[in-house]
Amino acid sequence: MPKVGIIYNDVKPIANRIAVELKEKFTAAGWNVCITTGVGGMLGYSTPESPVCHTPIEGLTPPGFDSEMEFTVVLGGDGTVLAASRLVAPCGIPMLTINTGHMGFLTEAYLNQLPEAIEQILSGNYEVEERAMLTVRVFRENTAIWEALCLNEMVLHREPLTSMCHFEIGIGRHALVDIAADGVIVSTPTGSTAYSLSAGGPVVTPGVPVLQLVPICPHSLASRSLVFPDNEPVNIFPVNTPRLVMVVDGNGGCYVFPEDRVNLERSQYSARFIRLQSPEFFKILREKLGWGLPHIAKPTSVELP
């Protein structure tokens, strides 16, 4: 009996309804259906009273989701897709991402296209695109106290108010560099169109094997975004007291103290996206962010007075 998964955003009524309907259709067609919400992929936020809120990477996979699953349908927006990627990446399950949110930068199709999308997948007419992920860990005295998979970015900054932070950052075997900024972002190519872009970082096409380091509002004209190979591990040593807060994929994280070390490496796991047609990244940039659109007022000819 073939197996399929459904991951949905239970906050959205339409996602709840479609998830139930989809389960009934797959069950009637003889499929073994595993269904869960995206909540299990949420990392959780730490508090001063509980500075570490931690579930191991492989511990997030829901019951029934395994490598035998043909694919999983993700119903939600980009937040649900990010959560779903942490749930299924360790099992290598491909995701058909259906937009029930707003931006939907990471989604493949809209809700009204779902029946045709399912039919196309069942006929085998699709591709699987792999997106690199990061393993983010916090070490204290050489002991890992927190870890998570990251598809977009890791952000390290001070809370509750924005103010200058100091970081010592090591990339691979290169010498440590000192950065003074409101915070730092380490981003994957997928995350280059998210927070990193807003902070002035470059857009990186998904297939390029690089990471980027982006200072947030740096206190130096010399501190600018840096792009480097993704086989270089990154270690960040916070200099500030009493603590900083780390956020992964805009979802959750933990407090980072001066004696801690944040380590980032390319993960052995990848997010696997089902593509119903050959991926066209520039088209997505145009549709979602308006990149490269023609100037509407551009004249066809110039007349001199």
Q: Is 100 annotated as a binding residue?
A: no
Give dist(CA 52, CA 254) in Å, integer. Answer: 5
Q: Is 197 annotated as a binding residue?
A: yes
What number of other Cβ atoms are within 10 A of residue 234's Cβ?
Answer: 22
Q: Is 195 annotated as a binding residue?
A: yes
Pairing of strands 226-229, 177-181: unpaired
DSSP 289: I
Beta bridge partners of 260: 140
Q: Is 152 annotated as a binding residue?
A: yes
Q: Is 153 annotated as a binding residue?
A: yes
Catalytic residue among 10, 78, 230, 249: 78
Q: Is 79 annotated as a binding residue?
A: yes
105, 110, 85: which is closest to 95 by C-alpha?
A: 85
φ and ψ at 106, to 5 degrees? -95, -5
What is residue 283's three-state secondary structure? Answer: helix
Whether residue 204 contacts residue 228, with contact meaning beta carbons closer than 8 Å, is answered with: no
Beta bridge partners of 6: 35, 73
Q: Is 198 annotated as a binding residue?
A: yes
Give dist(CA 283, CA 291) in Å, integer. Answer: 9
Q: Is 182 annotated as a binding residue?
A: yes
153, 135, 166, 86: which is closest to 263 by C-alpha?
A: 135
Annotated catalytic residue 78 = yes
Q: Is 251 annotated as a binding residue?
A: yes
Give dist(CA 15, CA 83) in Å, integer. Answer: 15
Residues marked active site are found at 78
Annotated binding residues for NAD(+), as ranges? Answer: 78-79, 152-153, 182, 193-198, 251
Annotated binding residues, as ranges? Answer: 78-79, 152-153, 182, 193-198, 251
